[in-house]
Structure 1
Amino acid sequence: MTRPMVKHARALRKRMTPQEVRLWNRLKTWRADGFVFRRHTPLGRYIVDFVCFTPKLVIELDGGQHNLDDHRAADAIRDAWLQGEGFPVLRIWNMDVHRNMDGVLISIRDALEAGLRDMRR
């Protein structure tokens, strides 16, 4: 992990989007359940929005620009690398954080529980 990447991750933490703040405020309460999340964390050459290391799960919040072909292609490459490192990626639309937070949290919890089941095998 390079020093510029660490500095960039810190800067991202200081200027989180409203959607990131809203989700972060919910995720950080899950520590009591044993799910510890970190925000804007370098993994390889990428900085992920949120990561839980046990079980491994990356959460990416996406705005409308991720519908553009070049973003979709870059996201696919990034997701493939992260999955190759054992980190499934759950992509969530920013709008869902505002309109369907309960559904978002259920999807995250389901992904975490699936990861725990896989760890026990």
Structure 2
Amino acid sequence: MPHTPPPPQNRPRAKAMRRRMTDAELKFWNAVRAHRLMGMGFRRQFPIGPYIVDFACPAYRIIVEIDGSQHGDDQAIRKDAVRSRFLGECGWTILRFTNADALTGLDDLCLHVITVAGLVRPAPIQHEGAHP
């Protein structure tokens, strides 16, 4: 699918959203900004087509969405599905996390992101009684 330019109003909206990040978004941003996460370059509040995504790593085509509780109601779930379908058709992988994931489990969140990017392999499952 060819690049879909963002609507003109999305650039100023994205800029305003960067100034009003949630605590969870800010915590994740501080962990990934300036290529801090295994050299991955993230952009925050990044316009893609008609949408503004929370965080995008264009080199790996990964989007990280950090969602508040409002994303749990039926209408939001349907809207998120349409949005995810569009972004997926554009070649992006969408990773969704909750605010709690970012605030209390940031290391696990970051590990998942770099695993999806292929920068680390998942740890093998250890079975009880197994010997190395």
TM-score of Structure 1 vs Structure 2, range by shorter chain? 0.7 to 0.9
| TM-score, length-scaled by structure 1 | 0.88
TM-score (norm 2): 0.81
Count of aligned residue pairs for this structure pair: 114
- C-alpha distance in structure 1 between counterparts of 2:98 and 2:54, whole Å: 13
1:29 CA drift (Å): 4.5
CA distance in 2, matches of 1:18, 1:32: 19
Amino acid corresponding to residue 96 of structure 1 in structure 2 = D
* Aligned mates of 2:105, 2:39 — CA distance in 1: 24
Larger radius of gyration: 2
| C-alpha distance after superposition, 1:81-119 (max 9, x if no partner) | 0000000100011011112111111111111117xxxxx
User: Shift of residue 7 of structure 1?
Assistant: 0.5
Matched, 1:102 2:121: no
User: Does structure 1 residue 65 correspond to structure 2 residue 70?
Assistant: yes
List alignment gaps of at least 5 residues for structure 1: 115-121
SS where residue 6 of structure 1 aligns?
A: helix
The aligned counterpart of 1:26 is: 31
Alignment gaps of 5+ in structure 2: 1-5, 120-132
Matched residues, percent identical? 33
Tell whether the 8 Å contact from 2:46 to 2:56 is kept in structure 1 after alignment.
Answer: yes
Once superposed, what is the RMSD of the aligned Cα atoms?
1.5
